[in-house]
Amino acid sequence: MRRTLGAVLVLSLLAWAGTVWTYPPTGLTIWTVREQLILLTGLGAYTLMALIMLLAVRPQWIESRMGGLDKMYRLHKWSGILATALAAAHYLIKIGKPLLLAVFDPVAKAPRSAAWLDVFRGSAKDIGEWAVWILVVVVALTLWRRFPYHLWRQVHRIAAVVFLVAAFHGVVLTPAAWWLQPAGWLVAAATAVGSACAVLALTGNIGRARRHRGTVLSIDPLSGDVLSLVCSVQGDWRHRAGQFAFLTADRREGAHPFTVSGADDGTGRVRFSIKALGDYTRRLQTSLKVGQAVTVEGPYGCFDFQQDDGCPQIWVAAGIGVTPFIAWLESLRSKPDCAPRATLYYCARNKADAPFAQMLETLCAQIPRVTLHTRFSDTQRPLTAADLLAEHVRGAPWPQVWFCGPTRFADALKQGLHRRGMPVRQHFHQEIFQMR
């Protein structure tokens, strides 16, 4: 993620530097420096905004390169934060002019945009200011974890409109001479890509090609707060074990992501195991009905142990994060010899909170290469990095760790593994059950 963000910033910087090199500002004064800073921060913010829009439409080719949609959304979020910071800097430098005027003499301004765009300059500046304020509010609500997700989702939709506003602002105020320079080409490319994606988003077409109509076939409570839901899906449905789909049972509520907690048996049936983690998933436990129409969009995700290097693996499933591992085990049941040598830790608070313990025992009994350890935090100490590496011999290749569960638990394990020298970037794989 950091590399992608860095690459976008470097690209903006190079495009700006290339342009300044061939089209240098007249003289080096506080005013030309201010002007260039405004242009550079604006270019960086705008390029990041185009990236945000591109990621928002979930292109398949990016998903496989980035290692899953959950990682794409994390990049989307941090691009949003960075774009807002740059846009705010752009705006602050602009409105800071009176402060400079108190110290420096003003100079006459050269015309900036192409003459035919001059009539739009005033409105482009005004709506650009509004766009910055709206971005700041959207980012603040994103970071304020207590703000309800369903309300945040509605507010967040405005981001596509903000992009189109920023496109108008950017195109009108880009210096005329830039259009034949690298910075102008970058503005043009960002405008084309971002606007196309914004229109896709505003017309409700994101993920349309991967949407399938479905019907609820069965609903079984697995425990007090987890239900198992089986749906039949129309059309050509195929998924890899460990992938997830967006399920819409109520159009007003919209789509929620759930792992397909079973292997693909070619019958067009998908199973979801849904834990009541919030308002909607709590309501689902009682509101779903057999025969109800649903929409299943997917599959998405790259949580796939088969990307292994032949080394032993460690699988850590915490709470409802066990669902991708169930799908993996089911897919290996018919070919147990193809399973990697793996140790699976299923972590839950206690027996009542571990509705999948029996199912895992049955599955692992059929796949001898996978060893199951069930851990209850009410009676045992929490699983640590030292436990995971207990059998690791110094100098031997590091195992691949596959984790799905609460983020704080993942962070604690990752830090511990890193302290013990494991290159976690290559060896720790995490499915993130959170998209905001």
- Interaction of residue 364 with ligand FAD, rule CB under 6 A: no
Of 301 and 340, the one with the shorter C-beta distance to ligand FAD is 301
Q: Are strands 256-259 and 244-248 parallel, antiparallel or unpaired?
A: antiparallel
Residue 428 identity (one-letter amino acid) = F
80, 138 contact by CB (below 8 A): yes
Of 47 and 243, the one with the shorter C-beta distance to ligand FAD is 243
- Interaction of residue 4 with ligand FAD, rule CB under 6 A: no
- Interaction of residue 220 with ligand FAD, rule CB under 6 A: no
Interface stretch with ligand FAD, choices 127-135, 187-195, 274-282, 414-422 (CB under 6 A): 274-282
Site string for ligand FAD, 71-100 (x = CB under 6 A): ------------------------------
In whole angstroms, how close is the CB of 315 to ligand FAD at the nearest point? Answer: 15
In whole angstroms, how close is the CB of 192 to ligand FAD at the nearest point? Answer: 28
Q: What is the 3-state secondary structure (H, E, C) of 166-203?
A: HHHHHHHHCCHHHHHCHHHHHHHHHHHHHHHHHHHHHC
Of 244 and 305, the one with the shorter C-beta distance to ligand FAD is 244
Of 132 and 274, the one with the shorter C-beta distance to ligand FAD is 274
Q: Which residue, judged by CB position, is nearest to ligand FAD in the bound state?
A: 278
Strands, sheet with 293-300, edge to edge from the N-terminal-most edge strand? 256-259, 244-248, 293-300, 211-223, 226-233, 269-275
In whole angstroms, how close is the CB of 283 to ligand FAD at the nearest point? Answer: 8
**Of the candidate residues 181, 323, 400, 430, the single one contacting ligand FAD (CB under 6 A):** 323
- Interaction of residue 279 with ligand FAD, rule CB under 6 A: yes
Tell me the three state secondary structure of residue 426: helix
Residues in CB range of 286: below 8 A, 6 or more apart: none
Tell me the two tokens of residue 385. 């990095």
Query: How many whole angstroms separate alpha carbon 80 and alpha carbon 136?
Result: 10
**Burial grade of 126 (CB within 10 A; 0-12, 13-18, 19 or more):** exposed
Tell me the two tokens of residue 215. 């019907």
In whole angstroms, how close is the CB of 58 to ligand FAD at the nearest point? Answer: 12
Query: How many whole angstroms separate alpha carbon 195 and alpha carbon 425?
Result: 34
Phi, psi at 237, each rounded to 5° = -100, 125
The region, left, alpha or beta by phi > 0 then psi within -120 to 50, assigned to residue 346 is beta
**Of the candidate residues 78, 179, 280, 376, the single one contacting ligand FAD (CB under 6 A):** 280
Return the residues of window 228-267 that contact ligand FAD according to CB under 6 A: 244, 254-259, 261
**Of the candidate residues 75, 320, 383, 389, the single one contacting ligand FAD (CB under 6 A):** 320
- Interaction of residue 275 with ligand FAD, rule CB under 6 A: yes
- Interaction of residue 391 with ligand FAD, rule CB under 6 A: no
**Of the candidate residues 23, 78, 120, 149, the single one contacting ligand FAD (CB under 6 A):** 149
Return the residues of window 285-314 that contact ligand FAD according to CB under 6 A: none
Q: How many CB atoms lie within 10 A of CB 243?
A: 22
Q: Which residues bind to ligand FAD, rule: CB under 6 A?
A: 70, 149-150, 244, 254-259, 261, 273-275, 277-281, 320, 323, 431, 433-436
